[in-house]
Amino acid sequence: MSDNLKRQLFGTDGIRAKAGEYPLTPEIVVKLGQAAADAFLVRRNASHEWPTVILGRDTRQSGDMLESAFAAGLNSRGIDVRLAGMIPTPAVAFLTSDLKAAFGVVISASHNPFYDNGIKFFGPDGCKLSDALELEIEHRLLEKESFSTADFEGIGRSGALDKATERYVHFIRNGPGQGNDTLLSGLTIALDSANGSGFQSSEALLHSLGAKVIGFHNRPSGLNINEECGCTYPREIEKLVRESGADVGVSHDGDADRVLFCDETGSALDGDEMMAITALFMMEEGALRGNTLVATVMSNLALDKAVGQAGGNVLRAGVGDRSVIDLMKKGDYNFGGEQSGHFIFRDFLPTGDGLVSAVQFLRIMKHKGKPLSELRKVLTRFPQAQRDVRIKAKPPLEELPSVSGKISQITKTLGEQGRILVRYSGTEPLLRVLIEGSDADAIEKEVEELVQLIQEEIGE
């Protein structure tokens, strides 16, 4: 297979589309299961016995259909499937590694609306797949018209994985520094589960650690996942904290691999603030490996300043939690994340986990004995202007003269006092724009002018 094979299906986080439309039709998803089976089977250790795959899903109505189709594809190629049910994405990563499965799969579109869905993969180590393996799966799917079915006695079977959620909660609860019934005692937490797959696990764990938990958006219908709730709607958790009088707000996305916090005044924090608080605390404890935090190019420059003043260092990866994880693995660093709410605590899991992150942040609050409104003062953000522009195509930016020209002009104007980032989303029809600088009014004006040019060229 050519290294230059262009991606057609996989984005930055698996395959994502409207459920029932290409490539998330039952027929294609069966073939995807078969293609994935073949790609993994040729790599498995010959000493492994009958291969098993862990398959989980979020709460979307289309999850039943896609789960059944993918499992059928795996079964047809001789793989047994253990169904974890509605469970957070990082739980599948944990279970795959813990149960020594051949690989893990999650049917989820994360923070997207209910009508979307997606398929994410984890390798036997609980890590997301390499680009090369994703491309191999895609190549097998697209190049092969049909797959044969295993001999009758070799057809795999599917069955429920008993106590999947309980195993996951037990694992986090007994992680480093957390096996304590009173770890979070005295805290009242407003919890927004986004009507997603963390609707059971997060509340159960936080309660077991001594917190009083007031649950919201924890009754999934299959159609209400992320519906004006969850961490992509920060105003909701802000409102819930103010109305409930909670000490802190915690908000997940649909598959609970992200988390958003809100202080007791009803003001949401972003990922940069949480990373600053955590990195500085871990440095105090001597727990931040290499005194290094791994963030992305989207993080505010104030993060570098805050960590640097304490004697630490910030490394920047490309956008996406997988890019952060890859850089963390290369340097053997143990904490990193994204401004959007993905955080990776590698001492627990090799992937982002909203519940692990929530417990770690809440532990810091308890240890410090201060509210989040005080803790967040460690970071004074530089002004940023961000926009997501809906688009109808994704041509190279250099093919859009007015847009690329405006970007060059802004870059020159900012000089060393700021920066501009313009990139296509890997999962949605969006062009994301970020300008950072010392003059808030100036960068707002610049971003509006750039957005106007983008809309004229490729806007919906």
pLDDT digits (tens, 9 = 90+) for 260-285: 999 999 999 999 999 999 999 999 99
Between CA 88 and CA 110 the distance in angstroms is 10
CA 419 → CA 293, 390, 433, 438, 446, distances in Å? 20, 22, 11, 10, 12
Q: Residue 6's pLDDT is what?
A: 65
Mean pLDDT over the full length of the chain: 93
Encoded tokens for 34: 């078969």
Over range 85-94, report the average pLDDT. Answer: 98
Among 141, 157, 57, residue whose Cα is nearest residue 107: 57
Q: Are 211 and 237 in contact (CB under 8 A)?
A: no
Q: What is the pLDDT of residue 319?
A: 85
CATH class for the domain made up of 183-262: alpha beta
Mean pLDDT of 72-98: 97
Fold agreement (10-168, 384-458): no
pLDDT tens digits for range 298-316: 899 899 999 999 999 999 9
The CA-atom distances, in angstroms, between 33 and each of 71, 158, 196, 355, 438 are 7, 13, 24, 29, 50
| Per-residue pLDDT at 154 exceeds 90 | no
At the topology level of CATH, where does 271-378 sit?
Answer: Alpha-D-Glucose-1,6-Bisphosphate; Chain A, domain 3 (3.40.120)
Are the CB atoms for 420 and 443 separated by under 8 Å? Answer: no
- pLDDT recorded at residue 46: 45
Instruction: Report pLDDT for 1.
Output: 38
State the average pLDDT over residues 315-343.
94
158 catalytic residue (yes or no): no
pLDDT band at 460; cut points 50, 70, 90: confident
Report how far residue 312's alpha carbon sits from residue 327's, in angstroms, rounded to the nearest whole number.
Answer: 17
- Residues with Cβ within 8 Å of 391's Cβ and at least 6 positions away in sequence, in order, are 424, 429, 430, 431, 454, 458, 459, 460
Q: Look up the CATH number of domain 10-168.
A: 3.40.120.10
pLDDT value, residue 177: 62
Give the closest residue to 138 by CA, choosing from 222, 36, 58, 214: 36
pLDDT, one tens digit per residue, over 419-457 is: 899 999 877 899 999 999 989 999 999 999 999 999 999
Question: Is the pLDDT assigned to residue 4 strictly greater than 90?
Answer: no
pLDDT of 120 > 90? The answer is yes
Domain map of the chain by residue range? 10-168, 183-262, 271-378, 384-458
Identify the pLDDT of residue 3. Answer: 40
Kindly report, residue by residue over 169-197, the tens digit of the pLDDT.
999 998 766 667 889 999 999 999 999 99
In a 10 Å sphere around its CB, with 0-12 CB exposed, 13-18 middle and 19+ buried, how is residue 85 labelled?
middle
Task: Give the model's pLDDT for residue 49.
Answer: 60
Query: What percentage of the chain exceeds 90 in pLDDT?
Result: 84
**What is the pLDDT, as a whole number, of residue 417?**
80
Q: Is the pTM of this model over 0.75?
A: yes
Q: Which residues pair with 15 in a beta bridge?
A: 10, 119
d(CA 142, CA 417): 47
Out of 151-155, 226-230, 379-383, pick the least confident. 151-155
Catalytically annotated residue among 76, 97, 108, 110:
110
Structurally, at CATH architecture level, domain 384-458 sits in: 2-Layer Sandwich (3.30)
- pLDDT for res 51: 87
pLDDT at 53 over 70: yes
Helix (H, G, I), strand (E, B) or coil at 446: helix
pLDDT tier for residue 11 given thresholds of 50, 70 and 90: confident
Q: At what angle do helices 354-368 and 89-98 cross, to 10 degrees?
A: 100
pLDDT of residue 41: 80
Query: What pLDDT, on the 0 to 100 scale, is given for residue 240?
Result: 98
Determine the longest span between alpha carbons in the chain, in angstroms.
70
> Token digits for 435?
């300008």
The Cα–Cα gap between 360 and 368 comes to 12
